[in-house]
């Protein structure tokens, strides 16, 4: 199935010069949605993770469906101030600002095998911070899975030696 | 399975006097998560919806897993300014403010059978606005499904004659 046909490009959004990849047509199409979830889950059926980690907010979509498919739980990475219990946090830099992500401190048991799922790998800043939080919790990261990788932004370099899978790659 | 044991109550969050129901322990527990998705999906296996609508942000989790389970697509309701394409919007009132939700105008084809999924029914304001947007798109709403209903807030009264299912109800 050609999933790229189901991804809509939106020029100059959210700011001028960015060619945004809108995944909503893919999500709305049942064949494309189920196919994408199955293909993203496939490499992890044998090395079964104990837990999926999903990232606020669009990352919740694919991570939850993959958790259901792989019969695991789901832990959440959220933007600062959204989680009600005790949290661990990590800052990461954007071009002109610093963002903070948080995870509940009891999200992961030490030694649990964790698969991280997000929709898009862009510059890799959020994922780099996510990896740090999960390591601090003692999670064993079995992989990082993206629906889309924007290869021309080079985010993969920030993810070190972790096993990274992307279903779709764009080079421009 | 007693799912309420997996829901953590957080006193005075996000503000004084609110006893917040934190679903993250349920999501992290694979048996509880898969059981909750299966039980929420069960009433709709026969009257199979064409599309699930999920609500930003925690609502994306259960809606995506239910969409995968029922083999349907997923359309998104988001807070204002988050969707990149042409949108329909609806305002709804909070105690001291007005919020706006949006949906892409091509999310639903007229006549599609739509199941709406969210995590919590509180005062019902978001869901009331969601119902209006979906009706404007010509969607046929087969049901509204919540993991949790805060019965003491009376939100169900705002949802008219729609078929509403809640897996867990709290009366205080």
Coil, strand, or helix at residue A79? strand
Is residue B84 pLDDT above 80, yes or no?
A: yes
- Residue A68 to residue B69, Cβ atoms within 8 A: yes
Is residue B47 pLDDT above 90, yes or no?
A: no
- Residue B28 to residue A74, Cβ atoms within 8 A: yes
Which residues, other chains included, contact A116 with Cβ-Cβ below 8 Å and sequence gap of 6+? A52, A53, A55, A127, A130, A131, A134, A141, A143, A144, A145
Cα-flanking dihedrals φ and ψ of residue A11, to 5°? -65, 145
Question: Could you say which of B58, B78, B105, B128 is catalytic?
Answer: B58
Helix axes A30-41, A59-70, angle to 10 degrees: 70
Q: What is the pLDDT of residue B148?
A: 98
pLDDT average, residue stretch B6-15: 96
User: Taking the CA atoms of chain A, what radius of gyration do you get in angstroms?
Assistant: 16
CA-CA distance, B148 to B36, in Å (whole number)?
Answer: 11
Q: Which domains are assigned to chain A?
A: 47-170 (3.40.50.2020)
Nearest to B117 by CA among B50, B42, B41: B41
Helix axes A59-70, B30-41, angle to 10 degrees: 100
Which residues, other chains included, contact A160 with Cβ-Cβ below 8 Å and sequence gap of 6+? A131
B11 → chain A, closest CA residue: A84
Cα-flanking dihedrals φ and ψ of residue A153, to 5°? -95, -10
B112 → chain A, closest CA residue: A28
Is residue B95 pLDDT above 80, yes or no?
A: no
Is residue B141 pLDDT above 80, yes or no?
A: yes
CA-CA distance, A154 to A121, in Å (whole number)?
Answer: 9
Is residue A95 pLDDT above 80, yes or no?
A: no
User: Taking the CA atoms of chain B, what radius of gyration do you get in angstroms?
Assistant: 16
CA-CA distance, A126 to A133, in Å (whole number)?
Answer: 11
pTM over 0.95: yes
A99 near A122, Cβ under 8 Å?
A: no
If one counts every other C-beta atom within 10 angstroms of the C-beta of residue B158, the result is: 16
A167 near A146, Cβ under 8 Å?
A: yes
Q: Does B42 participate in catalysis according to the annotation?
A: no
Least CB–CB distance from A64: residue in B14, B64, B85 = B64
Least CB–CB distance from A74: residue in B61, B75, B84 = B61
CA-CA distance, B10 to B97, in Å (whole number)?
Answer: 24
| Confidence tier at A47 by pLDDT (50, 70, 90) | confident
Instruction: Give the single-character DSSP code of A1.
Output: -
A113 near A146, Cβ under 8 Å?
A: no
The B-side interface with A (CB below 8 A) comprises 8, 10, 13-14, 20, 22, 24-25, 27-30, 32-34, 37, 50-51, 54, 56-58, 60-62, 64-65, 67-69, 71-76, 78, 82-85, 104, 106-107
Q: How far is B121 from chain A (nearest CA, A)?
A: 18
Q: Where are the beta strands (DSSP E) in chain B?
A: 8-11, 19-22, 51-55, 73-79, 87-93, 98-104, 113-121, 140-150, 164-170
Enumerate the residues of chain A whose CB falls inside 8 A of the CB of residue B107.
24, 28
Q: What is the pLDDT of residue B172?
A: 81
pLDDT average, residue stretch B123-134: 97
pLDDT in tens, B59-80: 999 999 999 999 999 999 999 9
Q: What is the pLDDT of residue A94?
A: 81
CA-CA distance, B40 to B49, in Å (whole number)?
Answer: 13
CA-CA distance, B93 to B98, in Å (whole number)?
Answer: 4
What are the residue numbers of the active site of A?
Answer: 58, 95
Q: How far is B162 from chain A (nearest CA, A)?
A: 23
Under 8 Å CB pairs connecting chains A and B tally to: 118
Nearest to A4 by CA among A155, A150, A154: A150
| Confidence tier at A96 by pLDDT (50, 70, 90) | confident
Q: What is the pLDDT of residue B122?
A: 95
CA-CA distance, A121 to A114, in Å (whole number)?
Answer: 18
């Amino acid at each position: 199935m050609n999933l790229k046909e189901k991804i809509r490009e939106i020029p100059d959004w959210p700011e001028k010069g960015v060619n945004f990849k809108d995944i909503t047509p893919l999500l709305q199409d049942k064949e494309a949605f189920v196919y994408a979830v199955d293909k993203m889950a496939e490499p992890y059926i044998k090395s079964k993770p104990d837990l999926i980690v999903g990232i606020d907010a669009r990352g919740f979509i694919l991570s939850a469906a993959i958790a259901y498919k792989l019969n695991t739980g789901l832990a959440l990475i959220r933007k600062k101030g959204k989680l009600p219990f005790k949290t661990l946090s990590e800052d990461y830099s954007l071009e002109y600002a610093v963002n903070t992500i948080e995870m509940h401190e009891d999200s992961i048991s030490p030694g649990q095998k964790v698969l991280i799922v997000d929709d898009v790998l862009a510059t890799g800043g959020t994922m780099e911070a996510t990896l740090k939080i999960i390591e601090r919790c003692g999670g064993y990261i079995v992989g990082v899975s993206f629906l889309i990788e924007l290869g021309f932004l080079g985010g993969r370099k920030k993810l070190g030696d972790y096993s990274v899978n992307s279903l779709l790659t764009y080079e421009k």
